[in-house]
Structures are given as structure tokens and as C-alpha cells.
Amino acid sequence: MALETENTEKKSGGKAPKTKQLLGEFLNYQKIWLLSFVLTATFAIIPVIFFAVLDYNLTRRSLENDAEARASRLASNTWRSLSFFLNERENALNYVVGSNSFEQLGDAQQLAKILNLLHQSFGGFTDIGIIDATGVQSAYAGPHGLTGKNYKDQQWFKDTMAHGTSVSDVFLGFRNVPHISIALRHTAPDNTYFIIRATIEHQLPGILSEVKTSGNGDAFLINAQSVLQTPSHYFGDVLEKTNIALPPATAQTRTMTITSEDGQDLIAAFRDIPDTPFILVVLKSKQVIMSPWHHSQVTLIQYLGISISVILLWIGAVTGYFVRRLKHLDLKRSKYFHMAEYENKMASIGRLAAGVAHEINNPLAIINEKAGLIKDMAHFKPELKQEPRLLETVDIILASVKRCSRITRQLLSFGRQTQTTPVPLALKSVLDEVLVFLVKEAQLKNIFVEIDVPDTLPQVVGNRGKLQQVLLNIVNNAFAAMPRDGKLVISAQKTEEPFVRLDISDSGCGISPENLKHIFEPFFSTKTNQGGTGLGLSITYGLVQELGGRINVESKVNEGTTFIIYLPTTIQKEE
């Protein structure tokens, strides 16, 4: 069964019919879906990515701030320990001077006893000495035998003489061992200055080694020239020059990010130790500190990817749904536009047919009248009775006039269906009205039409014009689908329900299973290259529903197609 109804479509020569041109081109639904999807996805995903990046940066900054705060607290706590250590030893030296006379301090044996007591009480003292105002060490107690050494050119000696006290940088000195000195200036009985000086070896690294720096942390001392005063895990051994750019000196702990010799980023806390040349540096590896953040970063990216995927799937589904609805509404609009135009065309054809039938009836009446007059004259004139061919011709004329009158009456009946309310209709009568216009086409294609519609069927309820259009569409499709010598069978029967079942079967090419489920959809056609619009059966389906019935189709390829139509009867109307 072909999927089109109008004969004009079959004769269009492959060109789009005018109706389709009036509808215009359909919307590009794929482009609409893509544009809607992209725009919606953009506006939906950008905030998600924005907040993910914001959370990413805030989390990173929070961890960095926390690491800087911990490094700062550690530096603040550690410098107090160092400062207390140095102050404790300064106070011990002051106590030694205050509790011993100048002569006792100048006695080497007494000085050795004092060193032993200091070592037992405080620890951290390597040696002790008394230096006069000229820089000569006049008395010494310790393992290095430095009695008589002159320190007048040493920086710590100059600082002590100038300021009264000094804690030196780490230096090698005469012993060629890294150490620091604590020196205090005092006044001798003869009003000259003398200096009591003690040295400390290996004490400061020991204090810093007890600092708990998590991960690959580090704590060391450095001076204002960026020279290491204690060993560093990242920058080398004592007295090595580093590339650390020190922040401006203040009384508070400062934090900043520096780079180690091997290129690692380190969070550094700097704290100046008062009255000393030392700057405490506490380091924390940024890579170790930020490792939890890197793990959360991977998790964040995974969740972000999942979230974006869910959003895209949801947007794709919702956008697809609305675009399908838009397509459905657009097709429906086009269908009703086509139906309105088709109804208008049918009405115009009906008016034209009625006008033609009316105009033909006038000469037919004259012909009928004149033929009757000739027949009457033949009865009164004997000579005319002798011409049997004349009377035979007159009878043929009268029969032809009668036949023409019957055709014009059918045309008038077909074009006069303007009622809008359902009325009882004789199905066979309506079917005859439709088939009279298709007789010639059936004869041309040698199609045998078999009709089995009993006169005893109950009347159906509906609109005559709509029922005529339904039958015309389906029979027209059957003729188009069948080759020469085809067969069309139209049968009807009463059902147990208040419906009459009408079967219209053809012996045509049939419909494939994949096309069969789409044939009632608007604009679905297998003859688009022949000018088909795909609206014929869609309109037929809508008309059957408007009549209160239903329509089904059965088909096998190369065997034929059967349309099964259920039409409501007067019984349903009465109920």
C-alpha cells in the first residue's frame, strides 16, 4: 500500500507540492538541540567550574596559611628557647664576676674550678677566659691552651668593648673549630676594663635538633649576611653562604616562600633573636604540606568530572525532550495547516462540481425534452414509424440523458457535504459515491474491485464529507500501490461492539515492517522524491478519530495491505 493519498502528488513529477511550499522549510531541530544544549550546558557548567576553582584556590590558600601559621608558631617558640639558653649563660658569667674578686678571676686554678662548676650547673661551656683591655687573654681555663692569645682584632672583642656585651657569630678562631663566644665587659679595680669570655661548641645545633619539624622540615640559624650558623638540611653546613633573601628585620616572626638549592619550594619562618647576630629560620616543605591538598585535588577533579557528566546527561535528556515536543507541535501545526488547506481545496472542488453539474443539467433538460418530442411525433406520423432506427436512436439519447442526470446528481451530492453534526449514514451509499469517481482509473489499470457490503448493516454515525475523504484517500492509495491486473476487496461486517468493521484490502506491494509503524505519522512518506507530503494517511487517521472510530493496518511485503476501519453505528449514538 502506498503511503500517499492525493493523485496530484503522484503527478507532480518529483517536485514539492505547493502545499509544502506554503508550509515553508521545517526547523533544523538538530541545530536547535545543539544550540540549546551548548547554551544551557555553558550556563550550568560555568558556575560549577567557577566554584570548583574557587574551592580549589581557597583550600590551597588555607593549607598554605595554616602551614605558615604553624611554622610561625614553631619559630616563635624556638627562638625563646635559644634566647633563654644564651641569656642563662650571660647571667651565669655575670654571677661569676660578681661572686669572685678580680684576683681570683686571674688565677688559672680558680678559673678552672669556676669552669667546672659552670659545666656541672649549666652545661654548654667549653672554656672561659679573662681578657684585658689590650685584647690579651691573661687567664684561661679550657682544653685549648689559649693563654696569652691576643683578640684585639676580633670583631667580638671590638663589639664587647663598645657595647658591654656581645654574642658572636659562629667562627673558627684560633682553634679552627666552629663556635660562638659570649663576652661581658666589666671594670677592674684600677678602673680599666676587662672582659670575661666563654665559648660554646655544638650546643646550638643540639637545641635546634630537638625542634619538631614535620615531614622534610628544617630549623637552623643564619646571620644577616645569609651565612649558616648551624647545619641545614637544605642549604649545607656551618659557615656556608646561602642564596636566602632575608626579609626586613622586625621584632615579629615573618613568613615567606623560598626556594632551596635543589629547587624545592619551602615555607620559611624568620625570627631575629634579640641581642644576637642570629636569625632563626624554620622551614617546612611545601610539597609535603600540600600533599593532602594534592590528593583532595584529584578527588575534586573526579567529583567535578562526575558532576559535569551528570549535568550534561540531564541537560541532553531535557533538551532532547523539549526539542522533540517542539518538533511534534511543529508537525502538528503543519498537519492542521495542510488539513485546512485540503478541506478548502475539497470545498472548492465541491463548489466547482456543483456549478458544473448545475450548468450541465440545463442542456440535459433541453436534450431530454427534444428527444421526448421526437418520440411523441413518431407516434403521430406514420412515415416516422417506418424508421425503427430513429426510435432506437431516440431511446439511446434518453438513456444517456438519464445517465448524465444520475452523474450530476452524484456530483451535487458529493460537493454538498457541509453538515458539521454527525448524522446516520448508509455505508454502502457513501462507498458508491466515492467509487463512481474511480471507475475510469480502475478500468485503465484493469483493477478488479470486489465489494461485499451488505444492505442490512446498521447505519454509521458521522460526517458524510469526512467519511468520503477517508474512503477516497485509502482507495486512492490502494490504486497507486497496485500494478495492472490488481484486485481491491472492500468488505464490511457488524461487530459485537457498536461498530461496523470495514476492511479495504489490496494486492499491492505492501509495506515493510520498519515503515509500517510510522505510516500514520505526519510527513512520513516513502515517496518524497515523487512529491509526496506524507500527510495523506496522517489526515486519514485524524479524520477517523474525529468520526469516533479507529483505524489499524496490516501488511506483508509483495502480498498486499489491509486497512481495518471501525466506524461507530447508530446503536452507539443512541447509547
Give 571's pLDDT tier (boundaries 50, 70, 90). Answer: very low
Q: Is residue 167 domain-resident?
A: yes
Query: Looking at per-residue confidence, does 232 or 209 come out higher?
Result: 232
pLDDT at 409: 67
Residue 150 lies in domain: 100-201
Give tens-digit pLDDT for 1-52.
333 333 333 334 444 444 343 344 457 888 888 998 899 888 888 888 888 8
Query: 125 and 223 share a domain?
Result: no
Query: 466 and 566 share a domain?
Result: yes
Q: Which residues contact 3 (CB under 8 A, 6 or more apart)?
A: 477, 511, 515, 519, 524, 525, 526, 527, 532, 534, 536, 537
Domain limit, last residue, from 201, 221, 255 = 201
Domain limit, last residue, from 170, 201, 232 = 201
Give tens-digit pLDDT for 170-200.
888 777 888 888 999 999 888 889 999 998 8
Query: 489 and 564 share a domain?
Result: yes
- Over range 368-372, report the average pLDDT: 78
Beta pairing, strands 423-425 & 265-272: unpaired
Task: Give the three cell numbers for residue 306.
Answer: 562526575
Q: Is residue 123 domain-resident?
A: yes
Query: Looking at per-residue confidence, does 218 or 338 come out higher?
Result: 218
Query: Looking at per-residue confidence, does 216 or 151 come out higher?
Result: 151
Percentage of the chain beyond pLDDT 90 is: 22
Give 574's pLDDT tier (boundaries 50, 70, 90). Answer: very low
Domain limit, last residue, from 137, 171, 201 = 201
Give tens-digit pLDDT for 227-241.
999 998 888 899 999
Q: Is residue 13 domain-resident?
A: no
Q: Is residue 549 domain-resident?
A: yes
Query: Looking at per-residue confidence, does 85 or 361 come out higher?
Result: 85
pTM: 0.50
Query: 177 and 266 share a domain?
Result: no
pLDDT at 208: 83
Query: 142 and 121 share a domain?
Result: yes
Query: 248 and 184 share a domain?
Result: no
User: CB count, 10 Å around CB of 387?
Assistant: 12
Percentage of the chain beyond pLDDT 70 is: 84
What is the rounded distance in angstroms from the CA atom of residue 79 to the CA atom of residue 65? 21
Query: 148 and 181 share a domain?
Result: yes
What is the rounded distance in angstroms from the CA atom of residue 398 to the CA atom of residue 261? 125
Query: 159 and 220 share a domain?
Result: no
Position 406 pLDDT exceeds 50:
yes
Give tens-digit pLDDT for 543-562.
898 888 999 999 998 889 99
Least confident of 224-233, 328-337, 422-431: 328-337
What is the rounded distance in angstroms from the CA atom of residue 301 to the CA atom of residue 137? 70
Query: 247 and 189 share a domain?
Result: no
Query: 574 and 493 share a domain?
Result: yes
CATH no. for residue 431? 3.30.565.10
CATH no. for residue 282? 3.30.450.20
pLDDT at 129: 93
Q: Is residue 112 domain-resident?
A: yes
pLDDT at 483: 86
Q: Is residue 206 domain-resident?
A: no
Query: 174 and 285 share a domain?
Result: no
Q: Is residue 406 domain-resident?
A: no
- Over range 522-534, report the average pLDDT: 59
pLDDT at 417: 52
Q: What is the mean pLDDT of the chain?
A: 81
Q: How many domains does the chain have?
A: 3
Q: Is residue 1 domain-resident?
A: no
Amino acid sitting at position 572: Q
Query: 441 and 561 share a domain?
Result: yes
199-226 in b/e burial notation, b at 16+ Cβ within 10 A?
Answer: bbbebbbebbeebebeebbbbbbbbeeb
Give tens-digit pLDDT for 465-519.
888 888 988 998 888 888 888 999 999 999 988 899 999 999 988 888 888 887 8
Q: Among the ranges 193-197, 320-324, 371-375, 412-416, which has the highest mean pLDDT value?
A: 193-197
Position 78 pLDDT exceeds 80:
yes
